[in-house]
Amino acid sequence: MDRDNNVSGAEGILRFYDARGYRYVVGTGRRPAIVVIDFSNAFTRGALQFPGGDFAAEMRQTCRLLDAARERGVSVFYTTIAYADPERDSGFWGKKVPWLSRCKLGSAAVNIDAILDPRPDEPVIVKKFPSAFFGTDLNDRLQALGIDTIVLAGCTTSVCVRATAIDAMQHNYRTLIAAEAVGDMDPGLHAVHLRDLDARYADVMSVDELLSYFRTVPRQ
């Protein structure tokens, strides 16, 4: 599918949000954490019968966020989709998206991409479904640290980033999405879902804006 034509086809939908007047913000808090969604090898490098994507640019921007977060002591979490028994544990999502069966717990496919240089003290949240909150201990971990703001990077914008952003809002976190550090398999899907998230659930901010924000928070 032609990338330019696909983005153009989304423009009519994007105009709806401008006409509707969605322009309000939730703003930033005092204690942020970064949650990097599903930048595992299956998504970033592909795996046998798993249709990964090209997220090189988004990972470079994520690395900028991670460098700044580590310097300020901002907590970092990753998520990965992984199943001990993929056929059973993926439920009806696995019926709809059968290549999830390649996300076998313990396999290289579910490891966080080494480009991000994940540190031993940066937890990896294993999830079975789109949201990083559903069926995991992520909220408990964030609450224990006193986190009030979540910065999201990762993939994909239309599925797991979206589900996590909505759940984050519903858990009463200020939710910030790093515009250049999230991506999707399709540019039209990415553009529409990113705009919708910005309109209704979260604040979409540039990586540069988020780096400036990190410099204002107390060292953690």
The domain that contains 141 carries what CATH number? Answer: 3.40.50.850
Least reliable range by pLDDT among 16-25, 99-108, 134-143, 180-189: 16-25
Question: What DSSP state is assigned to residue 219?
Answer: P
Least reliable range by pLDDT among 8-12, 43-47, 183-187, 188-192: 8-12
Phi, psi dihedral angles at 102 (to 5 degrees): -80, -10
| Nearest CA-CA partner of 211 in 26, 65, 93 | 65
Q: Which residue has the higher pLDDT, 181 or 47?
A: 181
pLDDT in tens, 22-64: 788 999 999 999 999 999 999 998 766 687 889 999 999 999 9
20 falls within a domain = no
Which residue among the candidates 63, 103, 155, 160 is catalytic per the annotation?
A: 160
Q: How far apart are CA 13 and CA 92, in angstroms?
A: 29
Would residue 155 show up in a list of annotated catalytic residues for this protein?
no
14 falls within a domain = no
Name the helix (H) or strand (E) containing 17: helix 11-20
Cα dist from 67 to 32, 71, 202, whole Å: 14, 6, 23
Cα dist from 180 to 26, 89, 132, 148, 184, whole Å: 20, 32, 20, 22, 11
2 falls within a domain = no
Type of residue found at 167: D
Residue entry with tokens 């977060």: 69
137 falls within a domain = yes
97: three-class secondary structure by DSSP: coil
3 falls within a domain = no
pLDDT in tens, 115-169: 999 999 999 999 999 999 999 999 999 999 999 999 999 999 999 999 999 999 9
Q: What is the pLDDT of residue 21?
A: 67
pLDDT in tens, 73-94: 999 999 999 999 999 999 999 9
Q: What is the pLDDT of residue 22?
A: 73
- Range of the structural domain that residue 48 is part of: 30-216
Beta carbons within 10 angstroms of residue 47's beta carbon: 19
The chain-wide mean pLDDT, for the chain, equals: 92
Q: What is the pLDDT of residue 114?
A: 97
Question: In whole angstroms, what separates CA 60 from the centre of its chain?
Answer: 14
200 falls within a domain = yes
State the DSSP string of 22-86.
Answer: --------SSEEEEEE--BHHHHT-BTTB-----HHHHHHHHHHHHHHHHHT-EEEEEEE-BSSH
Percent of the chain whose pLDDT exceeds 90: 81
| pTM assigned to the model | 0.91
Least reliable range by pLDDT among 39-48, 96-105, 112-121, 187-196: 39-48
The total number of structural domains that make up the chain? 1
